[in-house]
């Protein structure tokens, strides 16, 4: 009955462990500094680092182009670096908690437009429908039929293009109780950098973390670094 939630959680945890081979480009330092600042904000909200687990490409969603597991994403044309945060988690009980990761993909300036497709994809209703169908496959949905809601939102007004995808799964249990899980992906392109923020919640939220606000903070940090370069 918890298989849907396990699939979602595995995707988020895998997000934190995937990087390209190390490089020495200036972009790497900028991305690393922005990721470190995001980590500090999460620590201030009560999250703790759970470290970078190994990525599992098998956990990637075909509907999301593998971006829920960056290690499964083919290198973007002109990509110079990518940086992925640790998994940050906070739990109230073993069944109630939140998991957050932040990932950055950097390409050469001439290839910046190649980062538009994932932004459009996550804000497209076709993707929402695809993900809804994916949740309802026999491989994922086991036990009582869950109530699943998936919403795609384009144009958040962040960076040079942005979107978000919100998914909620409510699983009925014997006795009338319900277990709920939700996940949000918030994306933006800032010049030649793609930002992906992932937020998984089991039960009700227990922190003040806002994935769209974090997306804005990351984009603002990138914009400041790019303007001073």
pLDDT 10s digits, 80-109:
998 999 999 999 988 899 999 999 999 999
Q: Which of 10, 58, 24, 29 is nearest to 222 (CA)?
A: 29
Q: What are phi and psi of 165, to 5 degrees?
A: -130, 125
Q: What percent of the chain has pLDDT over 70?
A: 82
Q: How many domains does the chain have?
A: 1
pLDDT tens digits for range 107-141: 999 999 999 999 999 999 999 999 988 877 655 55
**Residue partners of 69: CB distance under 8 A and separation at least 6:** 11, 14, 15, 18, 55, 56, 57, 59, 60
Domain span at residue 124 reads 3-228
What average pLDDT does the segment 3-16 reach? 38
- CA 73-75-77 angle, to 5 degrees, is 135
Q: Is the model more confident about 197 or about 145? A: 197
**Residue 19's pLDDT band (boundaries 50, 70, 90)?**
very low
- Which tokens sit at 110? 């001439």
Tell me, what CATH number does 220's domain have?
3.40.1000
Residue 45: helix, strand or coil by DSSP?
A: coil
pLDDT tens digits for range 154-208: 999 999 999 999 999 988 877 777 888 999 999 999 999 999 999 999 999 999 9
């Amino acid at each position: 009955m918890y298989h849907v939630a396990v699939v979602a959680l595995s995707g988020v945890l895998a997000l934190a462990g995937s990087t390209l081979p190390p490089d020495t480009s200036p972009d790497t330092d900028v991305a690393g500094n922005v990721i470190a600042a995001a980590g500090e904000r999460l620590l201030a909200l009560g999250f703790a680092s759970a470290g970078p687990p190994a990525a599992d490409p098998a956990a990637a969603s075909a509907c999301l182009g593998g971006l829920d597991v960056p290690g499964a994403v083919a290198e973007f044309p002109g990509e110079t670096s990518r940086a992925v945060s640790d998994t940050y988690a906070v739990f109230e009980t073993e069944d109630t908690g939140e998991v957050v990761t932040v990932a950055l993909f950097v390409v050469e300036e001439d290839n910046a437009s190649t980062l538009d497709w994932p932004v459009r994809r996550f804000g497209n209703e076709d993707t929402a429908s695809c993900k809804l169908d994916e949740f309802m496959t026999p491989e994922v949905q086991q036990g009582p039929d869950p109530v699943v809601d998936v919403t795609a939102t384009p144009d958040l007004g962040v960076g040079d293009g942005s979107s978000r995808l919100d998914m909620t799964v409510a699983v009925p249990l014997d006795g009338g109780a319900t277990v709920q899980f939700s996940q949000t992906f918030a994306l933006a392109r800032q010049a030649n950098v793609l930002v992906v923020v992932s937020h998984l919640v089991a039960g009700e939220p227990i922190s003040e973390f806002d994935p769209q606000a974090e997306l804005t903070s990351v984009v603002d940090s990138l914009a400041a670094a790019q303007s001073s370069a």
